[in-house]
């Protein structure tokens, strides 16, 4: 007969893999979707029925045929695709070659979930632009644009007997409430003050303290914490479940505290002043890029820079007026945008769109593996679209 104790032990030792909802919630914590550009299509792009377990994750910049083939080969459960493969609304569900939309339909039929962080990851702390700065050995000193906090904050207040405070607090903190500071470096934050509560329950009540139909005065702790809008409903549900009272009293107070959040792009500083051409070669070597283009004087001295992974547009021109820098480092620029930078006498280094965004992929994989060590995401490096000459 099989050893039942051995069977139980085997089940206990199995890794606790995340569900799809867990993974999506964690990715939203890393790069809050509310901070993405309004025109972007971020978040969960496709998902199988139910809430499947996620064991195998692939991370890529774009959904191409090679990426789909790798998903099939590795039996991937979830593809984290930096660029959303479905960007505009679909008029027809008809496969049409190897377009990202058609490949997304194929992955959906295979039961592979697709998540895209895109511009949410660009502005996030430790996201696309910070990863690019780290790869180029540039110290980040600020954002090109500052934005308000992506999520509204609330104060959650309740009144609870002292012997029930810790149990209730743990349940509320488990929902994500009680986080303070940049990158939520402080967790389980609350304030507690003693006082007296009064109540009288009618004949239909079953009070946890005292008797129904009688005026009661009981010692209580006023307990309060902060909670983001995305976790507010879960925090209230946890409060009601863990609170010993039949009808717990609680207050939800909207906060207007100005909370700094990172914006688009980054300002950075090099460790020492170097010539523009020299730094361009350094960037090419650090990123393993096939080509790097330079617009400006190769012998210009550069020490300060602006970074915009992907397509830079003209955002850095406006930033330059209030905070001058020596060079813009970006992936690519349209012809007329490049002319605008030249007219403003701003040096530019073009790394290539994919090359400027690729450094964030292993960073994202490391974050996921730290959260769930049993999940070891595979990073698929983008295929170069240009050839070295």
In a domain, 380, yes or no: no
Domain of 268: which CATH number? 3.40.1390.30
CA distance 164 to 110: 48
* Confidence (pLDDT) at 387: 45
Exposed (0-12), middle (13-18) or buried (19+): which is 258, by Cβ within 10 Å?
exposed
In a domain, 113, yes or no: yes
Q: Are residues 251 and 314 in the same domain?
A: no
Best CA proximity match to 173, nearest among 247, 238, 223, 245: 238
**Any idea what DSSP says for residue 19?**
B
Q: Are residues 157 and 227 in the same domain?
A: yes
The three-class DSSP label of residue 136 is coil
The three-class DSSP label of residue 270 is strand
* Confidence (pLDDT) at 388: 44
* Confidence (pLDDT) at 6: 45
Q: What domain count does the chain have?
A: 3
CA distance 172 to 295: 54
DSSP string, 214-251: S-EEEEEEEEEEEEEHHHHHHHHHHHHHH-SSSS--EE
* Confidence (pLDDT) at 183: 58
Q: Are strands 43-46 and 327-332 parallel, antiparallel or unpaired?
A: unpaired
Best CA proximity match to 30, nearest among 374, 339, 382, 369: 369
CA distance 308 to 305: 10
* Confidence (pLDDT) at 5: 46
Domain of 183: which CATH number? 3.30.70.120
* Confidence (pLDDT) at 180: 82
* Confidence (pLDDT) at 179: 87
Look up the domain containing 18 and give its range: 4-119
In a domain, 385, yes or no: no
* Confidence (pLDDT) at 149: 53
Q: Are residues 162 and 20 in the same domain?
A: no
* Confidence (pLDDT) at 385: 53
Q: Are strands 250-254 and 216-228 parallel, antiparallel or unpaired?
A: unpaired
Q: Are residues 251 and 289 in the same domain?
A: no
The three-class DSSP label of residue 82 is coil
In a domain, 372, yes or no: no
Q: Are residues 245 and 268 in the same domain?
A: no
In a domain, 370, yes or no: no
Mean pLDDT by 10 residues, the chain (389 residues): 46 74 90 86 91 96 95 96 90 82 92 95 94 97 74 92 94 90 77 93 83 87 93 94 94 82 89 95 94 92 96 92 94 95 95 96 96 94 58
């Amino acid at each position: 007969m099989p050893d039942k104790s051995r069977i139980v032990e085997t089940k206990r030792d199995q890794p606790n893999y995340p569900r799809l909802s867990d993974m999506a919630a964690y990715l939203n914590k890393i790069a809050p979707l509310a901070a993405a550009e309004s025109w972007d299509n971020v978040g969960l792009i496709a998902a199988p029925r139910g809430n499947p377990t996620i064991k195998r994750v692939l991370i890529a910049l774009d959904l191409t045929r090679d990426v789909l083939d790798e998903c099939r080969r590795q039996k991937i459960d979830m593809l984290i695709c930096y660029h959303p493969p479905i960007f505009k609304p679909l008029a027809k569900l008809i496969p049409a070659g190897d377009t990202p939309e058609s490949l997304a339909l194929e992955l959906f039929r295979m039961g592979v979930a697709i998540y895209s962080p895109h511009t949410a990851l660009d502005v996030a702390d430790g996201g696309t632009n910070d990863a690019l700065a780290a790869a180029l050995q540039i110290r980040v000193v600020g954002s090109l644009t500052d934005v308000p906090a992506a999520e509204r904050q609330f104060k959650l207040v309740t009144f609870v007997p002292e012997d029930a405070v810790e149990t209730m607090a743990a349940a509320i903190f488990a929902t994500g409430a009680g986080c303070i500071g940049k990158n939520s470096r402080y967790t389980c934050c609350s304030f507690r003050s003693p006082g007296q509560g009064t109540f009288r329950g009618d004949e239909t009540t079953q009070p946890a303290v005292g008797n129904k139909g009688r005026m009661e005065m009981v010692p209580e702790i006023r307990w309060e914490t902060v909670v983001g809008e995305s976790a507010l409903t879960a925090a209230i549900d946890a409060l009601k479940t863990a609170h010993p009272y039949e009808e717990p009293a609680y207050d939800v107070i909207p906060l207007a505290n100005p909370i700094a959040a990172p914006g688009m792009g980054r300002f950075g500083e090099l460790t020492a002043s170097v010539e523009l051409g020299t730094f361009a070669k350094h960037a090419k070597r650090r990123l393993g890029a096939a080509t790097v283009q330079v617009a400006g004087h190769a012998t210009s001295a550069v020490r300060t820079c602006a970074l915009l992974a992907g397509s830079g547009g003209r955002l850095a021109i406006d930033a330059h007026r209030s905070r001058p820098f020596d060079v813009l480092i970006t992936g690519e620029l349209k012809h007329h945008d490049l002319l605008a930078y030249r007219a403003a006498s701003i040096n530019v280094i073009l790394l290539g769109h994919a090359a400027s965004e690729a450094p964030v992929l292993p960073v994202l994989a490391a974050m996921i593996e730290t959260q769930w060590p049993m999940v070891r995401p595979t990073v698929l490096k983008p295929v170069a679209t240009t050839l070295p000459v």
